[in-house]
Structure 1
């Protein structure tokens, strides 16, 4: 009887994870432009990505389609939302033809002030991409570091940036975008209600992870793809990842428990179906220190912090945990130190 009960519990957990309403989102920038290796993906590697997605039966959707599918619980199988930030010319010349060849769609997030500039797509090319089935999203007007703006003027500046780019895209493309991508992935809570008020249905950040039913749809995670992070082995691992539904996340950066360069990230999530003891923890540029408590009701409370002081403007805190079926679940938190240089 005991073995049957264990089998039943494992089966229920397996069913829980199998039915999760999730979309994997990827973010690319440049295609076949090796002058900028940190944001470039080679065409041979990009084609390997698309071939793998095709062979594994992934459904390709735009970012807004993915948001709508999540909110209506309509995801039926493996689903991927490919996104491209900034509107570089190399996407139009090199990336778009490969997407067409494999029958995939994508969302192109453009910052309007650079349209037609050196190495950037112009309006006619953006229109052609739109005709080919590429969704156009808003990426601000001037692609600023919003978190560097003084608190007194930040809300009005953010609103002005989005209103300007929305007006330009509406005039040029005949419709206003309904999805947004934060420049550099930097976001605070004050930005989200402004986007909602302006008619956006979701927004993309740059912390890695999987979009799921419990995600904040105005801070959707995306896995970055470049030559450094996009080898086929890495790609397979990431697109097969599952989301980790974190109930609560907070950063402590003042007082005894943390500082701006050594913050403590507190997380809460449910243990159900997860092997918490096999959790992995990573902090960019440092070693990860963690403490974990598991309560009787299955609630997991953990704290993660860097062992050494952080020196980069942006740092990802990442945890991965396996479940009973051998799937890995991923969550990351982006910590930003404003006004400390632009990396």
Structure 2
């Protein structure tokens, strides 16, 4: 094998989990201008009825924290999150208030008060409501993956920390509130951000990797299921709510030098079958299994900034288990 061939060696311990939480992600509401990030309140009503009919527990952030800390076990839990704080959030707020549904609202503070966004006065009023928990979505809503690619990791982590502190201070200055939760802009993250979040009082943070969450995952890279546009419809909802989390460990490396060639390799539990490997830039890629390991047949180079890798496996009951993670192109490794 060539020296410059970067092999993803992922040791996966794949066990059925009886306890998972599905974190739902919304952005805009009833906004035909941006259909790819909008969800109708009619569809949200359908989502809420689905959760009720299928005996899902609607979680508060505090209950979710207890679940993360393994203080309680939740077999069928749902946590609702909203990113950005657009003006149309008021439609979802009215609906969730009607049914007393708790939700988390993540705000990129530099945009508050702009024509398409909520104002600080509105956020202050919402913050007084028990069903609403505000969180930071950064200050500038910058693209950390592009920053890693063009500026490198040291610069990106310094920018991230300064931006986080600015966002927290802006909350404090405007509504005398200190956020304890974070959602990455565009869902983009890298290793080291978890430590910065923890040092600045953030209890847990959300990515935009897909799939359900289990406590074995990092609490600073929590996956979410976006329910927007076509994904807001019942067939997709039913699909994502009936797949399980795939337990993984020793995923490495997660950051790829821009010009490096790589393969994917994974060790999997034999109780699973029908392995599928996926990379955003290629789609489903050919794979083969040998000696309890799954390999991609081909090598690849990074061709796009936003790349997710996913492994799908089916258990003995033909239930799908999935794990997504973000593949980051990086200018230099420190």
TM normalised by structure 1 equals 0.81
Provide the residue aligned with 2:26 in structure 1: 28
* Other-structure match for 2:279: 283
Note the C-alpha offset of 1:60: 1.2
Cα offset, 1:216, TM superposition? 1.1
Separation in 2, partners of 1:204, 1:304 = 29
The CA distance in 2 between the partners of 1:305 and 1:27, in whole Å, is 34
Question: Is 1:315–2:307 an aligned residue pair?
Answer: yes
Q: Does 2:121 align with 1:124?
A: yes
CA contact (8 A) 1:289 1:307 kept: no
Taking structure 1 as reference, are residues 252 and 115 closer, same or farther at Cα in structure 2, changes over 3 Å only? Answer: closer
Structure-1 separation of matches of 2:262 and 2:255: 5
For 2:236 and 2:324, how far apart are their aligned partners in 1?
16
1:319 Cα shift?
2.4
1:67 Cα offset (Å)? 3.3
Shift in alpha-carbon separation, 1:174–1:252, aligned structure 2, 3 A: closer
Post-superposition shift, 1:136? Answer: 0.7
User: Could you list the per-position Cα deviations for residues 112-151 of structure 1 after superposition, in whole angstroms to 9, with x for gaps in the alignment?
Assistant: 0001111111112222322331111111111111231443
Q: Single out whichever of 258-267 and 324-333 deviates more from structure 2.
A: 258-267
Which residues of structure 2 form unaligned runs of 5+?
1-14
Residue correspondence of structure 1 range 64-79 to structure 2 within 5 A: 65-79=63-77
Is the Cα contact below 8 Å between 2:277 and 2:310 reproduced in 1?
Answer: yes
Provide closer, same or farther for how the CA distance between residues 114 and 180 of structure 1 changes in structure 2, counting only shifts above 3 A.
Answer: same
Cα contact 1:261–1:309 (8 A) shared by 2: yes
Relative contact order higher in (CA < 8 Å, ≥ 6 apart) = 2
Structure 2 residue corresponding to 1:111, chosen from 92, 95, 108: 108
Whole-Å separation in 2 of the counterparts to 1:180 and 1:304: 34
How many residue pairs are counted as aligned between the two chains? 311
CA distance in 2, matches of 1:266, 1:129: 47
Give, in whole Å, the separation in 2 of the partners of 1:97 and 1:21: 31
Equivalence map 1:138-217=2 (5 Å): 138-147=136-145, 148=147, 149-217=151-219
2:53 and 2:224 mapped to 1: Cα distance?
22
Unaligned 5+ runs, structure 1? 1-15, 296-300
Aligned residues: CA RMSD: 2.6
Residue number in structure 2 paired with 1:95: 92
Shift in Å at residue 218 of structure 1? 0.9
Query: How many angstroms apart in 2 are the aligned matches of 1:159 and 1:180?
Result: 12
- Output the CA distance in 2 between the equivalents of 1:202 and 1:253: 22
